[in-house]
Structure 1
Amino acid sequence: MDLSIPFFQSELLFYPSLSCVSSLSLTTLISYGVYGTLDWRPIVIFTCSDFLAMGLDHYLDNAENLAQARATGNDGVVSVFTQARMMLICVACILFGALLCSPIQTWAITALFVAPALVWNRPLFWLPIRDVANARGDDEEPAGFFKHGFVIKRIPGMKAIIIGVIRGCGTFAVVHSVLSPRLLNNESSMWTPTQLLIWSTINWICHTTMADVRDYIDDLKEEIPTLPVLFKSVLKTKVLLTFLHAVNIISFSHNVYIVFGSLYATLLVWLLDESSPRSHFVFSMEGQPLTIALYFAVQACKKLPAFA
């Protein structure tokens, strides 16, 4: 069990913060590209929600490590957990403040898409499952049955799809709930709701699956039914991801930024595998923010006198 300070700093602080970059960039693009404005409320709401979802998930997943660190007097690791806990509280307060300034429908939509992420790896309820090999037959449950927790993360093959819907459709829904009274920005056909919904959803399905490729060996041992585990092949998974990125490229070939982002993601699909260093998968996570940053950089250059 890894109790090193750098490990927990990355798990509890770095990766949740890095994930926020994706939400920050996408909500900014939707707000500006579709509605022609930069409204701070949806940007703050989804960025904070993203941090809370991943940060809380990682915090709870490492609860046993925290207990062990306290038992062994590892003050450095305990301090990292304290920092993570304080950040979660601060971010939750900021999120609450942004929601107070938003329409009531934003509360409902935020809860709809964020709630599954907050209970991502927690048993929601218990199901009696027949255990033919190890029937227990105690007084509390019928012989031949054991209780099995229903966990969203362990729905076979659905992990990547659920995250894709939350991160793709959920982001747009939150922005739309705040800015729906405004007319869509029709001055430019570069970005449309359909483009952003499909591109973002597919992009996050693929990125999540790449994270599953990274964890393939461990997930296979623990029988976590991710797509690579169900396929029992990283190669087959890569072929599927290449096909999905190709769908984006073909469907939105007129949008050079989506084409660039999809080609970039496809390249990483074939460069990374289960033996690649964990840190290298950061490049996969930040593919969409890189594309969006490129778009805004080009827009800024167009406003310079030399390009006017």
Structure 2
Amino acid sequence: MKYKLKELNQSGAAAMLSVVIFSILITIVVTAYLRNSLIDQTQSLNYDYNSRAYFAADVGIQDALRSLGSTMVDKDDCNTYLPASSGGQIASNLSYTCQLVDISPKTVEFDVGQDKNAMVRILPKSITPGDYKLITRWSIQKNNDLVARSEENWFPSQANWKSSSDKLFHPALRLSLIDLPVNGDLNSSNLHQNVLFLNPISGALGQHTINYPGGVTDQDRVQSSKCYSSTDTSSFNGYACQQILSLNSFDFNNRALYVRSRSLYGSTGVQLALQDGAGNEVELAGSTLQVDVTGKAGSTFKRIKQTYRLNNGVIIDNLPDAAVIGGDGICKHYTITDQASDFKDLGNCF
């Protein structure tokens, strides 16, 4: 008797199962690749649009500055300023909004290096009756390790300008308030200067009064200014330190006020503001301007707001703290020769 075995096609089923598993793996790999590619493409597009929107806004800033440089005092619309040879066509889906130019902001901001000076005139746009207060704020914006001092009123060496835990203190400021006549001759009798040293103290009130036409007494030269640590959530309009000076009886109609800030123990950023009798910050004229432009690329928007100096609105220098001022004129003639040095009267000053 012969038996015939039934043959099963098991090898075909195994092959089909292998194909299914392989297809699933390929699908997973391809899907992951496509997903990563889409993410990378989206990130690249976002970066590209953000960059293009930023540069579009920057173009608006530069156009606004060129417009101001062209003294377009009669311009009363928001149309883009363009040279006469430009067609003004918007290309590559790039554009920017109306440029908002503020020539009388309520604050004057600038950076001053260590042992350097920045001088600015403080002039309210509209002078109102009553006493004003000068607000000085300062701190280093990029350093998160600065702290305030305790109650020390002495100024050590640069190497010792730090706490017991070796954390650096906020820079101190040498503040000079110089006032002189708006009209008339300048001489030593009508030129006044009040000098204060603003000491960054943690527990200070940061307030002082200057009575005009008097001045600051010797015992008031060093002022304890209120300061927070850089890591503290509290701040003064984004700055860690603040000093409020009440300018009692100062006459802005007849006297020009200049503020000269000298940074000690490090570079810092400074913000100056002026408050009226009601405690409101007033608009300031003739020092800086702020330009606000929003750029657009596709559906992405980028806003830029920058501050620029008006002519000599903020003067940066490294001149000495004291200088000779000759009201009626001082002349000096010095010649290097092989003869003995002598003095010659040059008559009226040139």
Fold conserved (TM > 0.5)?
no
Structure number, greater radius of gyration? 2
| Bigger strand share | 2
Instruction: Tell me which interval the TM-score lies in, with the shorter structure as reference length.
Output: under 0.3
Please report the TM-score for the alignment, with normalisation by the length of structure 2. Answer: 0.23
| Bigger helix share | 1
> Which structure is richer in relative contact order (CA contacts within 8 A, separation 6 or more)?
2
Please report the TM-score for the alignment, with normalisation by the length of structure 1. Answer: 0.25
